Amino acid sequence: MASTKGLFARLTRRGPHRVLRGDLAFAGLPGVLYTPESGLGLPGVAFAHDWLTPAGNYTRTLEHLASWGIVVGAPATETTLAPSVLNLSYDLGTTLDILTGVRLGPGQISVNPGKLGVAGHGFGGSAAVFAAAGLGGRLRAAAALFPTVSRPDATAPAAGLSTPGLILGAEEDTSSITASTLELAAAWEAATLRIVKKAAPRGLAEGRRLQSFAGLPGSDRRTQKTVRALLTGYLLFTLTGDKTYRAFADPEDDLPRTSLPSEEFVAGTPEEKFVALLKG
């Protein structure tokens, strides 16, 4: 079996599948859709965008997931200055309904309703948590990538989640007033927290022209490359059961370009976990 380092390096590159692009609007929901060229009973993921970030700014990341055999849809809703995290979470559920309820492509692509997940970046990370709480046992996994605070707060639904989760944070999160990484990690017992070294949290989105105009950071290729590998490996294991990628979901396994929380965090109560993270 390939080493974890070798698997990580492999997952930073596109997978073996040719990718097709579609439009969720054919089923009544604005958004984009990426699938492998063919395959029946595939895993499916609904992906939520960050604040003021079009779904199209994740094109390469969504294509990357599809190239590894994952069907992924991203709703292009809640793009105003004051979006609703609850509405976006609802749209994630609608996206999964579309993925599982419609034969995609030229009839050669379908999604297995038992292999579903949600993921989101920033504001969308909080939406993914709400979606996971609302969808309950329908999901095999959820991922919050550099999650940010929302109103209402996603910590409350996270505390009741039994769905396995991946939370990716940045080294700067202990001093950030917008990141909700620490709170979610302390509350979500079934989630694995990984801190991405030298990450630019907002840099996961590509392009970011509007954000740059507003004075927000631009895209960061290193962050994108690392997150794509971590997320792909995690989803391949949790959604498909491919044991090759078990390490990407193992809270005790070190992965390249990341660090894990201390033993004090792992063993503590939610309050003790939060304090441990702040110290770490």
CATH of the domain at 84: 3.40.50.1820
The residue segments making up the domain with residue 65 are 4-278
Q: What is the pLDDT averaged over residues 65-79?
A: 98
The answer to which of 28-32, 117-121, 213-217 has the lowest mean pLDDT is 213-217
Mean pLDDT, range 98-123, rounded to an integer: 92
The mean pLDDT value for 183-207 works out to 94
Contacts of 202 (CB under 8 A, 6+ apart): 50, 122, 146, 208, 211, 216, 217
Quick check: helix, strand or coil at residue 176?
coil
Q: What is the mean pLDDT of the chain?
A: 91
pLDDT in tens, 33-59: 999 999 999 999 999 999 999 999 999
Residue 216 has pLDDT above 70, yes or no: no
Structure confidence at residue 262 (pLDDT): 65
pLDDT at 114 over 70: yes
What is the C-alpha to C-alpha distance for residues 135 and 220, in angstroms, rounded to an integer?
32
pLDDT band at 276 (very low <50, low <70, confident <90, very high): low
Hey, how many other C-beta atoms are within 10 angstroms of the C-beta on 47? Answer: 29
Tally the domains of the chain: 1
Q: What is the mean pLDDT of residues 47-76?
A: 97
